[in-house]
Amino acid sequence: MYRPGLLLIALASGVLASETQVPFVQPLQQQQPSDSTAFSAKELNGRFLHVTDLHPDAYYLPDTAESNACHRPRNKKTDKNIAGPFGLPYSECDSPLSLTNYTLDHIGKKWTKNIDFVIWTGDNVRHDNDRKLPRTQDEIYALNRAVAKRMDELFLSQGIPVVPSLGNNDIWPHNILTPGPNGITNEFSNIWHKFIPFHQLQVFQRGAYYSVEVIPNSLAVVSLNTLYFYDNNKAVEGCPYLDPLDPGNLELDWLDVQLELYRSRGMKVYLTGHVPPSPGNYWPQCYTRYVDLALRFQDTIVGHLYGHMNDDFFFFLDSEDLEIPKKVESEGHKGLFNALMTDFGNLSKKSNRYAVVNVSPSVVPNPYIPTFRIFSYNSTGQATDVVNSIGRNHGHKKGGGDKEKRCREDEYKDTWKCHLKNSTWHNSEQGSPSRNNELFTPLGYAQYHLPGLDYIRKRRSLKYKLEYLTYQLELLHPLNANDTAFVYPVPIQELPKSLRAPMNATTTSKFAPYGLKDLTIPSWLGLGRRLGDEGEKKLRKKFKSFMRVKKKGKKSKSK
């Protein structure tokens, strides 16, 4: 078994090497023309990586058992779920260093030349699931330094901005983060000093959130510290209206200002973080404020990307969540699929009242199998026909009517639902890349996974493969073979052989179950309504299989 000394030796020796202190340098970023909206396919790849929840475990040992977190010799008579050299899929064990190293090496080799930036949403240490081997703060910092160094070597040193977020397991004790500045925010400002723009360091030290212009003057990624919104963090009060100095309120105030500034500059923004914004994860008043910002800035926010859940799904932020009262259903793993299908079945035809959140599955095979996503986005600005959404309202106001009466009640009068800004939702199609396919609109993603961990014994046998993609098949190739300006959403060499030749609208493939023309809110609503239809049994089955791939005959446990 690894001992703490051996852990540090392993990290220092390059298995996951610790960071060497170097002078601060700004991330190298793409050069832009004088007209910040005039990009060409040659200047941008039109793709980015989202990777989350690596959970490397330097104490993982092959031929051990899930019952002891894959840390100690197994009982050969009773332990049947045995750890392999590259991980134990569908289990409660974390990632061996061999798996995290292979994953990052693979991404670096295959994708560095094909992406423009990296979104990395936290949890870079093992879970605290072994009472005989509790985590320590030194271990947590050492692993985060090691993974940060590897991200620097693979991406930042190649001119690719990297935007990390703090996970609930990246701190000790897990889930608990007091208001900053504190030792944790100071330490991570050091660990991530290459990734955080210099002028953002003071804000980061206060609360572990910041933003990066991944395409200067055009596209930014905001990294939120979701621990100040997370209802498992009992060190904060949960954004109460009467406490403006609550760290969650301070963070959302900062976000409001940042979004206003980005809007005034004509920029677009991705909101990213570890714990996804839902009633089942966030303190109620933090959730209310997040939904309000998501709907007020639909013209500026192009997407919401999160991890943490170790599942693959999407859901909607709904304007109904700003009303009183709102029935909240649990979004825990038990019943998650059924809860989503119910929500999808009740979707309104008024698309202006929604924003969509994408939750990516994890690298750690707990309980999924290792996974990462490559998104593509509109990097040319080529216009498409504006979608005519039903019931669009350019000046929708929140509150009024019965809500005004309810807000005089003691239960609600001092809550954010009764004190939101009475401002316009900027949700018109034109000029909103979250709602219409234009410059920086997300177009789709390809999801890659690593099957076979339970029987692969040699590194050369490991191979990430395409699990599925969201695109319409005919959009994977140019309509005209002579179209030299076409930007492939997925490089041809990263497609399975069956998808490498152009296809028409009648072609089907197991790799393309959704057939989305883009990832705008109307497209997601269309998929949601299809899934909400009880007659779509085949599509529902496929969606459920992606949510949590599990070994035949084995029930998956809660995270």
Contact 114, 49 (CB under 8 A): no
Q: Which pLDDT belongs to residue 11? A: 55
Range scoring the smallest mean pLDDT among 35-49, 81-95, 231-245, 545-559:
545-559
Q: Which pLDDT belongs to residue 393? A: 31
Higher pLDDT, 37 or 360: 360
Q: Which pLDDT belongs to residue 138? A: 97
Q: What is the pLDDT of residues 167-219, one digit of tens each?
A: 999 999 999 999 999 999 999 999 999 999 999 999 999 999 999 999 999 99
Query: What's the average model confidence in pLDDT over 106-120?
Result: 97
Q: Which pLDDT belongs to residue 503? A: 81
Residue 118 has pLDDT above 70, yes or no: yes
Q: What is the pLDDT of residues 448-483, one digit of tens each?
A: 999 988 888 888 899 999 999 999 999 999 988 888
Residue 442 has pLDDT above 80, yes or no: yes
Strand partners, 212: 221
Query: How does the average pLDDT of the chain come out, rounded?
Result: 86
Query: What's the average model confidence in pLDDT over 252-277?
Result: 98
Q: Which pLDDT belongs to residue 139? A: 97
Query: What's the average model confidence in pLDDT over 131-151?
Result: 97
Q: What is the pLDDT of residues 185-194, one digit of tens each?
A: 999 999 999 9
Residue 545 has pLDDT above 90, yes or no: yes
Sign of the four-CA dihedral 60, 64, 70, 75:
negative
CA distances from 525 to 21, 142, 413 (A): 47, 42, 33
Residue 70, SS3 per DSSP: coil
3-state secondary structure 144-161: HHHHHHHHHHHCHHHCCC
* Distance of alpha carbon 401 from alpha carbon 369, whole angstroms: 49
Q: pLDDT band at residue 396, thresholds of 50, 70 and 90?
A: very low
Neighbours of 116 (CB within 10 A): 21
Query: What's the average model confidence in pLDDT over 129-156?
Result: 97
Residue 516 has pLDDT above 80, yes or no: yes
Q: Which pLDDT belongs to residue 239? A: 98
Q: Which pLDDT belongs to residue 390? A: 31
Contact 82, 153 (CB under 8 A): no
Q: Which pLDDT belongs to residue 479? A: 87
Q: Which pLDDT belongs to residue 554? A: 46
Could you tell me what percent of the chain has a pLDDT over 90? Answer: 71
Q: Which pLDDT belongs to residue 550? A: 53
Query: What's the average model confidence in pLDDT over 144-162?
Result: 97
Higher pLDDT, 330 or 518: 518
Q: Which pLDDT belongs to residue 424? A: 61
Residue 299 has pLDDT above 70, yes or no: yes
Concatenated DSSP letters for 154-202? HTGGGT--EEE---TTSSSSTT---SSSSHHHHHHHHHTTTTS-GGGHH
Query: What's the average model confidence in pLDDT over 273-293?
Result: 97
Residue 544, SS3 per DSSP: helix
Residue 384 has pLDDT above 50, yes or no: no
Q: pLDDT band at residue 375, thresholds of 50, 70 and 90?
A: very high
Higher pLDDT, 304 or 502: 304
Q: What is the pLDDT of residues 55-94, one digit of tens each?
A: 999 999 999 999 899 999 888 777 778 899 999 999 999 9
Q: Which pLDDT belongs to residue 43? A: 82
Whether pTM exceeds 0.85: yes
Q: What is the pLDDT of residues 419-432, one digit of tens each?
A: 987 666 655 556 78
Sign of the four-CA dihedral 10, 13, 17, 22:
positive
Higher pLDDT, 238 or 351: 238
Q: Which pLDDT belongs to residue 362? A: 97
Strand partners, 179: none
